[in-house]
Structure 1
Amino acid sequence: MRVAAALIDLADTLVADFDPADFLYRVAEHCMDLLDIGDAGVMLALPGAGPLRLVSATSERVRLVELFELDAREGPCFTAYHDAVPIDHTVLAVSSRWPNFSARARSAGYLSVHASPIRLRKETIGVLNLFRRVPGPLPETDRQLARAVADATAISLLQQATLDDHRLLSTQLQGALKTRSIIEQAKGYLTSHHAIDPDTAFQRLRSHARHHQMRIADLALQVIDGTVSLPFQPGTDGDPHEETSR
C-alpha cells in the first residue's frame, strides 16, 4: 500500500500549481520511507547537456557529500548519470575507484551507495542517489523499487515538459535550483537564530509548509524576510512524528 501510494503521489503532476522543487523533495522522502537506506538525494541536469546539479537531499550530511562529488566530478552518482546505468558501490577504507569520493563518503558515515539513472527510454535527465550505512549492494527488491521510483520521476517530469515542449522542463529545473538556494538560505537563518542544526531546520520548514498547505519556497522566503516566525517545539506544528523523525 505504501508503494502504491508513493507511485500515485509521484504521478500527480498535471496540475496548474505543480512545484518541481517540492516534487523532487517528495521523491527523496519516498525513497527514505520505502527503501533500506540512510539518506537519499536527487540530481538533475538541464536539457541540452547541462551540468548535473543537486536539487534535493534528505540531510545536510548527504548534501555535502553529493556537492563534493559534483565538484570532484567523480563518484557512483556522477558516473551513473553519464553512463546511464545503475551502479552499486561499496565504500572501502582504500578504494581504487573514486578514491576521493569514497574517502569523503566514508568520513560521513556511509558504507555503500546505489545510484539509479532517472531516464525515460534513451533520455537521461538525472540520477537518484541512495546512501547506506551498511556495506554491500542494495538488496534486489530495493533495487527494483528504486528503479520504479526513478522511472516514475522521469515520466512525471517529462510529462510536464510535453505541455509546452521541452522548454518547460528547463524552466522547471531552473526554478527547482533557485528554490533550493532559497531553502538553503532559510536553513542558514534558522540555524543561526535558533541554535539548531541544518537537518532540524529543514524538517521544521517542511512540517510547517505541509501543515499550512504552503509551498516550501514561499515559506523559506517569509522566514528570510522575517514575516513569519516558526514554532520550534516538536509537535506544535502538525504531526509530532514528522517533527522528530529521521
Structure 2
Amino acid sequence: MSDSELLVAVLARFVRLLPAASELPEILDELMRSAIDVLEPGGVTVALSAQLRGDRSELFTGIPEDLLELEVCQRDHDRGPGVVAHACGAPVTVTEIGSYGDLWPEYTTLAGRHRISSVAAVPMRLDATEAGVLSLYSRTPRRWTGQDLSVATLLAGMATGHIATANLVHRHQRVTEQLQHALTTRIVVEQAKGVIAHVHHTTPDAAFELIRSHARRNRVTVHAVAHGIVALGLRI
C-alpha cells in the first residue's frame, strides 16, 4: 500500500469513528494509532487542554505510556516543545533534542533517559476549539518534513472536531437529564399538593405551604416529602 493509500485508509477509519465515539479515551487512542500508522514515529503523546478534559479523561495519554513522563515534565516546569507549540499555535519541530539543554534542561535530560532524539509538537486546533497538543517522538534524529506536519495537523484537527462534538453531546445529555429531573419533581409535588388539599379540604397553595413547612421542620427537601405523600402514604 502506498503512503497516499495508507493515509486515505486511516482518514476513512477516523471519519467512521465519529458517529460512535462519545468518550475522550477512544478518540485520543484513534488519533495516536492513526499517527503511528501513517507517520511511523517511535511514540506519540497527547496533552489535553484542561478546559476540555472535564472529569472524563486523564490529562495526558500516550503510546508507549512511559513517554507520559515527558508531558508531566513540561507541565511541571512550564517549558518544552509542547508548551511552545500550544502558546504559539504552530508546530514545533526538534531534530536533536540534546542541543536544547540550555532552553529546556529538565526536558532534554528526561528525553535522553528515554532515548528520544527528535520531537514534533503539533497543536490540536479546529476553528475556535483548542484541544491540546499532539507530540510525535523519534528515537533517532529525524527531520520532520512539511508533509509530516501537514498529516499530523490534519489528524489533530479531526480529533479536535470529534472531541468538540463529543463534548456538545455530553452537554446536551446533561441538560436533558436536568430538565427531566425537574419535570419529574414538579409532577410529584403537584400530585402531593392534590392529596393534601383533599385531605385538609384546602386549596393547592395552602397544601403546598403545609408540605414546605413539614420539609423545613424535618430538614428534608420538598420533593422528598412529596414523594412520601404520593408513594408511601405519608400524611401531614
TM-score of the pair, normalised by structure 1: 0.59
Offset at 1:36? 3.5
Task: Please state how far the C-alpha of 1:167 moved relative to its aligned partner.
Answer: 9.3
**Which secondary structure state, in structure 2, belongs to the residue aligned with residue 47 of structure 1?**
helix
Percent identity (aligned)? 22
How far apart are the structure 1 equivalents of 2:53 and 2:169?
21
CA offset at residue 72 of structure 1? 2.1
Larger Rg: 2
Q: Judging changes above 3 Å, is the alpha-carbon distance between structure 1 residues 40 and 48 closer, same or farther for their aligned structure 2 residues? A: closer
Picking from 68, 91, 96, the partner of 2:102 is 96
Q: Report 1 or 2 for greater relative contact order, CA contacts < 8 Å, sequence distance ≥ 6.
A: 1
The 4+ residue runs of structure 1 with deviation greater than 4 A are 164-168
Partner of 1:57: 62
Q: Distance in 2 between matches of 1:49 and 1:25?
A: 15
Q: How many angstroms does 1:54 deviate by?
A: 3.8
Supply the distance in 2 between the matched residues of 1:54 and 1:47 (Cα, whole angstroms). 10
Distance in 1, Cα, partners of 2:32 & 2:9: 15
Structure 1 runs not aligned, ≥5 long = 169-246
Worse-superposed segment, 110-119 or 78-87: 78-87
Could you tell me which runs of 5 or more consecutive residues in structure 2 were left unpaired when the two chains were aligned: 175-236
Pairing partner for 1:19 from 19, 23, 31: 23
Contact between 1:84 and 1:124, CA under 8 Å: does it hold in 2? no
Q: Could you tell me how far apart the structure 2 residues matched to 1:48 and 1:104 are?
A: 27
1:128 CA displacement: 0.4
CA deviations 1:44-77 (Å, max 9, x no partner) are: 1132899xx6432111331222222222221111
TM-score in terms of structure 2 length = 0.62
Aligned length: 166
- Describe how 1:12-161 pairs up with structure 2 within 5 A: 12-15=17-20, 18-47=22-51, 54-89=59-94, 90-92=96-98, 95-161=101-167
Q: Distance in 2 between the 1:94 and 1:147 partners?
A: 24
Q: CA RMSD in A?
A: 2.7
CA distance in 2, matches of 1:146, 1:48: 20
User: Which residue identity does 2:38 align to in structure 1?
Assistant: L
Counterparts of 1:54 and 1:137, CA distance in 2: 28
2:45 touches 2:62 (CA, 8 Å); kept in 1? yes
* Partner Cα separation in structure 2 for residue 130 and residue 98 of structure 1: 17
Q: Relative to total residues, which structure has the larger helix share, 1 or 2?
A: 2
> For residues 88-118 of structure 1, what are the alpha-carbon distances to aligned partners after superposition, in whole Å with 9 as ceiling and x for unaligned?
1230256222121111112210111100000
Counterpart Cα distance in 1 of 2:18 and 2:152: 19
Letter in 2 for 1:30: S
